Amino acid sequence: MDLLEYQGKQLFAKHGIAVPSGEVAGTVEAAVAAATKIGYPCAIKAQVLIGGRGKAGGIKIAQNVDEAREHAGAILGMDIVGPHGEGPFRVDQVWVEGGSDIAEEYYASVILDRGEKKLLAMVSAKGGMDIEAVAAEDPDALVKRHIDPSGFDATAARSIVADAGLAEDALDEAAEVLVKLAEVAREEDATLIEVNPLIVTAGREVVALDSKVTIDGNALFRHQDLAEIADTVEDPQEQMAKEKGLTYVKLDGNVGILANGAGLCMSTLDVVAQAGGAPANFLDAGGGSKAEAIVNALEVIKSDAKVSAILFNIFGGITRCDEIANGIVTASQQIDLGMPLVVRLDGTNSEEGLRILAEADLPNLHQEKTMLDAARRVVELAGGAA
Amino acid sequence: MSIIVDEGTKLAVSGLTGREGSFHGLRNKAYGTDLVAGVTPGKGGQDVEGTPVFDTIAEAVSEVGANTSMIFVPARFAAAAIEEAIDSGVETVIAITEGIPVLDMLSTYWKAKEKGVRLIGPNCPGVLSPGKANVGIIPAQFFDPGPIGVVSKSGTLTYQIGNELKQAGTGNSSIVGIGGDPIVGSDFIDILKLYEADPDTELIVMVGEIGGDAEERAAEFIASDISKPVVAYIAGFTAPPGKQMGHAGAIISGSSGTAQAKKDALEAKGVRVGESPTETAAIAAEMLRSL
């Protein structure tokens, strides 16, 4: 689960890392009121879960009330696309914060290194720009060091920030920030914490001017405050899926997909794309896949207006295909799909499942024996590529 | 032969008194796995259909000689149960539980390394050695004994591929689900090493997915250390960046962890990568015929 910039900064503040003070606003009026209270100049920053906001026009400095109104009006409601094509993300909130007098811009992060199975601290004197580009062009400018699981103290942190070539008079404070970032990782179950830029102000104070924080969704049971943030999902289909306890990711195609198991579901999206189609979603029905789960899944898939055909790809292991077939029959009695449904059932009790479906003789239901045939069929029925 | 589980496996199931644990533990026993104990704190002295239950895994080791522990404990208690298993004296710990906080797994991972205990999972379907033993939730009916070793991050996708291999008339030495979490006890490399040393494995099928760099690391290792042919499949070419695709570890971060990068890394080392599960099984069956 990713946090918005201001939520990350609140987490930083909780752990004693200096951040600019500010307010979150969802309307132009609220943003102007916040700006006036904070004073000018101030920054008006789009709150979306993606980098590259500045380039996209999502961060502006207001020198006076007229500019605050103009910028807030322009930023609220805009759609921001990420540097790797993520999104678009609609801006529903802005964060208004006091302008900072920047003397130096650095980069600091603590991430989970999956390969090495350790936390990794990274620091660079080249902050304020795309760190992947810095790492590619000037790898020596990014100091990377694993955090000793038995402890990470100011001495260890100081050697990292010193090696990164940060200003001599900021080393102690920057080291302290790095120690606290590692503390945020461990105590808040964050798997990624990035501060870009970490600035030194004209008054030589070290301040986190931005935040990017990812919290481990599996650890939310021990973080009540963060669990509340996780409950707010913006996409209507994703919200509906969450309420129904389904693992769903919205994509932008027209072929609705349900499969059992995360790997098989990803594979199903891939074969649909190979057949020339565009998947509308990822939906893992999970192990159980009883009638109720199927009704829920179909409701979520169908609520996406783009969807014009649906593919069920089930390989029954513990899940029994006869149960799935009964679920499909029950679901078709409860919801009017109004679009073709292609079903591929294989694995445990598949013959019984296929017989149940054949006997039910449901309108607009198409059976295919293999995953590849099912993918081709659903793409054809959906009307080709979206 | 086979790897990790076989006729010598003496299994203790933590969580055997729970619904899932008893269902799968007893299924494993019905398959022929030597289920020697259940473990549930406070329920020592009871039994589950004749299998004795102990309060601790250490007791299962000392009383009935358990050498393999399977963890079926709810996520928030699972890391502690895994650590208990690591300390108990068993050789292998297979953690099925999904949803364990990843930072808990960091310390657990290093503890297992330090003690020399093989940890498989978490968030995995377990290990099956067809005709010998099944520890976990893999439906054994889709797999026959044979010369292909399978190692996979995914459950259902593996059943799909296993079933296609069976239909192609071949089978498996073992099937190892390493799990879909960001931190797992054994990576592709650990399992590839075991298959390389296993005389009954002639060919290896490796099933990866988006997220992390375990497949890229495996590609390097295959080039330097594996003499047996390897066929791979990668899921998630259509996954958008920044979205977790079901498994906690299946996420493209920025531009890293993509399916294409993994496919490229494997192909650069001469590993054939199937376009679909069906093609992957077909390539494996064909390569086996030409060995």
Q: A274 contacts in B (CB within 8 Å)? A: 275-276
Both A178 and A212 in one domain: the answer is: yes
Hey, CA dihedral for B104, B107, B109, B115, is it positive or negative? negative
For A273, the closest of B157, B238, B278 (CB atoms) is B238
Q: Does A99 touch chain B (CB under 8 A)?
A: no
- A84, B275: Cβ pair inside 8 Å? no
Q: Which residues of A touch B247 (CB under 8 A)?
A: 262-263
Rounded mean pLDDT, B193-206: 98
Name the strand (E) or helix (H) holding A310: strand A309-316
To the nearest whole angstrom, how far is the Cα of A3 from the nearest Cα of chain B? Answer: 13
Q: Which of A99, A120, A151 is the last residue of a domain?
A: A99
Contacts A149 to B, Cβ<8 Å: 106-107, 110
Kindly tell me if the per-residue pLDDT of A309 is higher than 70. yes
> Could you give the 3-state DSSP secondary structure of residue A183?
helix
Does the beta carbon of B248 lie under 8 angstroms from any beta carbon of chain A? yes
CB A59 within 8 A of CB A248: no
pLDDT tens across B5-15, in order? 999 999 999 99
Cβ–Cβ of B99/A86 closer than 8 Å?
Answer: no
The CATH number of B10-120 is 3.40.50.720
Q: Do B103 and A219 touch (CB under 8 A)?
A: yes
Tell me the mean pLDDT in the region B33-51.
97
CATH code for the domain in which residue A123 is found: 3.30.470.20
Among residues A166, A220, A230, A222, the alpha carbon closest in space to that of A198 is found at: A166
- Determine which one of A107, A176, A248, A368 is catalytic: A107
Select which of B247, B248, B251, B262 is catalytic.
B247
The answer on pLDDT for A234 being more than 80 is: no
Q: Does position A386 have pLDDT exceeding 60, yes or no?
A: no
Contact present, B257 and B243 (Cβ < 8 Å): no
What are the Cα distances from residue A35, in Å, to A10, A77, A162?
19, 18, 37
- Cβ atoms of residues B73 and B24 within 8 Å: no
How far apart CA A123 and CA A161 sit, in angstroms, is 6
Q: How many CA atoms lie within 13 A of B126 on its CB side?
A: 28
**What is chain B's mean pLDDT, rounded?**
96
Q: Are the beta carbons of A189 and B101 separated by less than 8 Å?
A: yes
Q: Which residues of B touch A350 (CB under 8 A)?
A: none
pLDDT confidence of residue A385: 47
Residues 71-110 in B contacting A (C-alpha not used; CB under 8 Å):
75-76, 99-104, 106-107, 109-110
CB contact under 8 A, B160 and A267: yes
The token duo for A171 is 């080393």
Strands B34-39 and B10-14, sheet pairing: parallel
Q: Tell which residue, A119, A95, A107, has the closest CA to residue A190.
A: A119
The whole-angstrom distance between A334's CA and the closest CA on chain B is: 27
Nearest alpha-carbon partner for A193 in A212, A173, A180, A175: A212
Say whether both A84 and A25 belong to one domain.
yes
Q: Is the pLDDT of residue A230 over 80?
A: no
Any idea what DSSP says for residue B256? B
pLDDT higher than 70, residue B215: yes
Report CB contact under 8 Å: B157, A271: no
Percentage of the residues of chain B whose pLDDT score is greater than 70: 100
Q: Residue A110 and residue A107: Cα distance in Å, rounded?
A: 11
CB pairs under 8 A between A and B: 176
Give the span between the Cα atoms of A93 and A97, in whole angstroms: 13
On the question of pLDDT at B212 being above 80, the answer is yes
Distance from CA of A67 to the nearest CA of B (A): 33
The answer on A14 and A152 residing in a single domain is yes
Q: What is the pLDDT of residues A70-114, one digit of tens each?
A: 999 999 999 998 877 777 889 999 999 998 899 999 999 999 999
Q: Is residue A10 part of a domain?
A: yes
Q: What was the pLDDT predicted at A69?
A: 97
A283 in a structural domain: yes
The reply to whether A187 falls in a domain is yes
B99, B110, B163: residue with CB nearest A218: B99
Is A248 an active-site residue?
no
Percent of chain B with pLDDT over 90: 94
Say what percent of chain A tops pLDDT 90: 76
**Is the CA virtual torsion B80, B86, B88, B92 positive or negative?**
positive
- Which two three-digit tokens encode residue A216? 């481990």
Determine, yes or no, domain membership for A326. yes
ipTM: 0.94
How many angstroms separate the Cα of A359 from the Cα of each of A338, A346, A354, A356, A363?
Answer: 20, 17, 9, 5, 12
pLDDT digits (tens, 9 = 90+) for B109-140: 999 999 999 999 999 999 999 999 999 999 99
- How many domains is chain A built from? 3
Q: Are residues A4 and A153 in the same domain?
A: yes
Q: Look up the domain containing A188 and give its range.
A: 1-19+101-232
Q: Which of residues 171-210 of B touch A (CB under 8 A)?
A: 180, 182-183, 207, 209-210
Higher pLDDT, A82 or A22: A22
Residues in a beta bridge with B11: B35, B68
Contact A259 B207 (CB under 8 A): no
Are A68 and A1 contained in the same domain? Answer: no
| SS3 per-residue string spanning B217-241 | HHHHHHHHHCCCCEEEEEECCCCCC
- Which has the minimum average pLDDT: A47-56, A63-72, A227-236? A227-236
CA distance B63 to chain A (A): 32
Domain boundary assignment for chain B: 10-120, 139-289
Give contacts of A 208-267 with B, CB under 8 A.
216-219, 221-222, 247, 249, 251, 259-267
A9: in domain: yes
What's the CATH code of the domain at A90?
A: 3.30.1490.20
Task: Say yes or no for a CB contact (<8 Å) between A82 and B142.
Answer: no
Q: Any catalytic annotation for residue A6?
A: no
Topology match between the domains B10-120 and B139-289: yes
Domain for residue A68, yes or no? yes
**Contact map slice: A 3-42 vs B, CB within 8 A:** none
pLDDT attached to residue A355: 94
Measured between beta carbons, which residues in chain B are less than 8 angstroms from residue A263? 152-158, 180, 207, 209, 235, 246-247
Which chain A residue shows the shortest CA-CA distance from B113?
A: A117
Number of other residues whose CB lies within 10 A of the CB of residue A79: 12
Q: What is the pLDDT of residue A233?
A: 66
Residue B40 pLDDT level (bands cut at 50, 70, 90)? very high
- How far A100 CA lies from chain B's nearest CA (Å)? 28
Nearest CA of chain A to the CA of B214: how many Å? 7
Mean pLDDT of the A142-151 span: 90
Q: Are residues A69 and A167 in the same domain?
A: no
Is there a single domain that holds both residue A66 and residue A108?
A: no
Check CB contact under 8 Å for A218 and B248: yes
* CATH number (domain holding residue A292): 3.40.50.261
Residues A94 and A194 in one domain: no
Give counts: helices (H), strands (E), chain B. 9, 14
From B205, B195, B223, select the one nearest B286 (Cα to Cα): B205
CATH of B139-289, one of 3.40.50.261, 3.90.1150.10, 2.30.42.10, 2.40.40.20: 3.40.50.261
pLDDT, position A16: 97
B28 chain-A contacts, CB cut-off 8 A: none
Inter-chain residue contact B238 with A372, CB threshold 8 Å: no
C-alpha to C-alpha distance for B276 and A91, rounded to whole angstroms? 38
Cβ of B154 within 8 Å of Cβ of A191? The answer is: no
Q: Is A174 domain-assigned?
A: yes
- Other C-beta atoms closer than 10 Å to the C-beta of A258 total 28
Domain end marker among A232, A247, A269: A232
Q: Is B245 in Cβ contact with A216 (below 8 Å)?
A: no
CB A88 within 8 A of CB A53: no
- In sequence order, the 6+-apart residues with CB closer than 8 A to the CB of B102 are A112, A189, A191, A216, A218, A219, B181, B182, B183, B248
Query: Residues 136 to 175 of B: which have CB under 8 A from any A CB?
Result: 137-139, 141-142, 152-160, 163
Considering only CB atoms, A86 lies closest to which of B152, B240, B277, namely B240
A202 and A165 in one domain? yes
Average pLDDT of the segment spanning A311-323: 89
Q: What is residue A332's predicted lDDT score, i.e. its pLDDT?
A: 87
Contacts of residue B237 in chain A, CB cutoff 8 Å? 269-270, 273
A324 is a domain residue: yes
Instruction: Mark which of A99, A122, A151 sits at the end of a domain.
Output: A99
- Domain shared by A338 and A264, yes or no: yes
Residues A36 and A163 in one domain: no
pLDDT at residue A290 in the model: 72
Q: Specify the pLDDT at position A288.
A: 58
Of the partner residues B109, B183, B236, the one whose CB lies closest to the CB of residue A266: B236
Contact B180 A117 (CB under 8 A): no
